Amino acid sequence: MAGPAIDPRSAAPGTHPAGALRRTDFDFALPAELIAQHPAQRREDARLLHVLPGRLEDLRIPDLLRQCAPGDVLVLNDTRVIKARLRGEKSSGGRIEVLIERVLSPRRALAMLRTSHTPRDGLRFHVRAAAAGPAWGATVLGREDDLFVLEFDDALDAVLEAAGEVPLPPYIHHAPAAEDAARYQTVYARSPGAVAAPTAGLHLSEDLLAQLQAQGVDIAYLTLHVGAGTFQPLRVERVDEHRMHSERYVVPARTAAMVNEARDQGRRILAVGTTSVRALESSMRDGRLQAGSGETRLFILPGFRFQCVDRLLTNFHLPGSTLLMLVAAFAGMERMRSAYAHAVAQRYRFFSYGDAMLLESA
């Protein structure tokens, strides 16, 4: 059910063709001290930049209450981050780091491996929680592109629970702590399978969600298991040559019905996070949101015409990233550049533990 990068039947007139876009079109200067290393004291303490046509508003997350109207549909990604990072050693004694990308079966997974030499088929290694603690064995079975197929000697969920770490992004420089186990997870996470959090949702507390519902906002859920590819930089200059990692998603029948009814009645769809956007837009067929599950490689670039989402709550993303490209497609290139320049000048906090934007569609 994956969609194209730009569907020529739905590309907006006057926009850039994908082949004309370069990774450097999405670069910006970011002072290192603006990369948030820890979350705000409370989830709703983050700042919120409202990006409207022709103007910007500096708000706070609780201001979502007055930005949402009765009948709006808030779409949340309920994926749950697993303890996907494992550390251990090869039989030769060399170190190995494992980042689980996807669980394939009770003992098998696709993973990224970091080691001194490219692992070969049949390589044996062990992972452990501590240098002197118990070890769990695994074998490299093969390779799929830049990922490796691993088979563990024991049930993978038990190995991850005993030896796994919260897979903090590479730009967060401290070791995972108790704070991260709680805060690098949305309050509504319930479907295990992600190796990165859908970070826009980290700002929403149970109290804020309850207040939104009390004022008549409908809340719908879907699941997209975020993969490690979300942190991978583009290795090509022409963005249309980039190949997205596949991610699994599920759109429940109730969510499809809620969204379709709202669209029929002219009510707004507010997606929380780029992952919710990709799942929704991947599931649109002939103007209707389809229930079901699938795999998506949807790469949203300027020129893409959104069929479902009217508004987007999202964090500030890495320079040159596919997530920033999605934001530029949604809000427009110039509005994106203006918003990011404003955020840097006003000392907003960036990336997973940082502040957020509320974007109105271009």
Whole-number pLDDT of residue 3: 37
Give CA–CA dist 291/284, Å, rounded: 9
269-272/85-90 β-pairing: unpaired
CA 114 to chain centre: 22
**How much of the chain, in percent, has pLDDT values that exceed 90?**
85
pLDDT digits (tens, 9 = 90+) for 243-257: 888 899 999 999 999
Question: b/e string for 191-225 if b means 16 or more Cβ within 10 A?
Answer: eebbbbbbbbbbbbbeebbeebeeeebbbbbbbbb
Which long-range contacts does 340-343 make (Cβ < 8 Å, 24+ apart)? Answer: 340/28, 340/316, 341/28, 342/49, 342/56, 343/49, 343/316
Q: Could you tell me the domains of the chain?
A: 18-81+181-360 (3.40.1780.10), 85-163 (2.40.10)
State the alpha helices, DSSP H only, in the chain.
Answer: 64-67, 156-163, 178-183, 206-214, 253-264, 274-282, 322-331, 333-345
Sign of CA dihedral 193, 199, 203, 204: negative
Lowest-pLDDT range of 47-61, 126-140, 148-162, 343-357: 126-140
Considering the entire predicted model, what is its pTM?
Answer: 0.91
Mean pLDDT of the chain: 92
- On the question of pLDDT at 8 being above 60, the answer is no
Whole-number pLDDT of residue 133: 76
- Amino acid sitting at position 144: E
Alpha-carbon distances, residue 160 vs 100, 109, 193, 320 (angstroms): 9, 12, 12, 32
95-105/55-60 β-pairing: unpaired
For residue 153, which of 110, 108, 104 has the smallest C-alpha distance?
108
Whole-number pLDDT of residue 19: 64
pLDDT digits (tens, 9 = 90+) for 246-303: 899 999 999 999 999 999 999 999 999 999 999 999 999 999 999 999 999 999 999 9
Give CA–CA dist 10/29, Å, rounded: 32
24: CB partners within 8 A, 6+ apart:
237, 320
- On the question of pLDDT at 17 being above 80, the answer is no
Largest pairwise CA distance in the chain:
64
Whole-number pLDDT of residue 308: 98
13: CB partners within 8 A, 6+ apart:
none
